[in-house]
Amino acid sequence: MNNSISRMDCRLIALAGLVVALGLGMHPTQAWSAIDCAQVLSAGDTGRDSDGTGGDGLTDFQECSGIPLADGSKISSCAAGTTDRTACLDPNAKDIFVIYAPQTSGSLLSKLPKSPFDPNPFNEALPSLFGIAFHGLAPLGVTAHQVTPSQINSDRTITPVQKAVKVTESLDTSSTILGNCQWGTPNGLDGCAVYSQRTLDFMTKTCTDSTGRLMSVYQPNGTLSDIPSVFNAYMTYLFIHETGHSLGGLTATYDSRFGGYHYKPGAGLTMEQAVTYSTKGGKCTFYISPVWNATLDPPAVKLK
């Protein structure tokens, strides 16, 4: 099998993915008895942050009260009766805000024909893309609240001590890196980017044979597909992968062999260093993985 690997920046971050699209578990049932929001609100903000090991940077009081956003809207508390976990804050489980920032002009995320990119790449129940079931950050025990740039302050602060992660689409084509982000927490340096034009160009070049003919594109299971479908899955993957680097790394250890906080290419994990592909027999197949390392990745999450 002629598997090639797309290279990336060894200091920052980048691509990833491989293997089959495996279904991932969703959030476990929330333990509402652990934190009583009525008691928390009565006591006032003591600074306690009970969201598992390390907390999430949002106090129990803030999550029981709900957090107002810069545009006047508000993310309410799940204790208020909201059933959609992505639309409410839970003091018993980790929450994170992610600013989804496509280009305001010329974005490829809404232009490709046949399969427009889903505008919520962090959706825990995202419809299958390229035969892949993505579940955002849910397998890490983290609920992502996707917001727009207008909903969060320009310095990314959502509370006086906690910031949102920002992932920006870039149309730059001056390099071959498809994504990058600073390693650390949401409170670290800004600069997560995914490069949509580079990604489209990379896929198109990969799937073009020596005669200039575009090969047929297939899912790993042999189902016939197309470039727009791969693009949508690849971009979804990149948004999730790059956000992972702002959650503490996100592998348990730094490994210079794989460019830092990555698993080796071909590991079949979200945080592997590069997406692999095959062009054997004139069939172009990309192996993009939505799978987190269930043993090592959740404990490595660090949000503050």
Q: And the tokens for 198?
A: 């580079």
The beta strands (E) that lie in 58-189 are given as 67-68, 74-77, 88-89, 94-101, 142-147, 157-159, 162-163, 165-170, 179-180
- Tell me whether residue 43 is exposed, middle or buried, using C-beta atoms within 10 angstroms of its C-beta: 0 to 12, 13 to 18, 19 or more: exposed
Q: Please choose, from the candidates 160, 223, 171, 177, the residue with its C-alpha nearest in 3D space to the C-alpha of residue 196.
A: 171
Cα torsion through 120, 125, 126, 131, rounded to 10: 160
Q: Tell me if residue 25 falls in helix, strand or coil.
A: coil
> How far apart are alpha carbons 217 and 219 in whole angstroms?
7
What single DSSP character describes residue 112?
S
Helix (H) or strand (E) holding 42: helix 37-43
What string of pLDDT tens digits covers the 304 residues of the chain? 333 344 333 333 333 332 222 233 334 434 344 889 999 999 999 999 998 778 999 999 999 999 999 999 999 999 888 888 999 999 999 999 999 999 999 999 988 777 778 889 999 988 899 999 999 999 999 999 999 999 999 999 999 999 999 999 999 999 999 999 989 999 998 789 999 999 999 999 999 999 999 999 999 999 999 999 999 999 999 999 999 999 998 998 888 999 899 999 999 999 999 999 999 999 999 999 999 999 999 999 999 9
| Domain locations in the chain as residue ranges | 3-27+93-300
Q: And the tokens for 144?
A: 């992502």
> How far apart are alpha carbons 124 and 85 in whole angstroms?
10
Strand pairing class (74-77; 88-89):
parallel
Helix (H) or strand (E) holding 234: helix 227-245
pTM confidence score = 0.86
Across the beta sheet with 216-218, the strand order is 3-5, 276-278, 283-287, 216-218, 224-225
The answer to whether the beta carbons of residues 154 and 164 sit under 8 Å apart is no
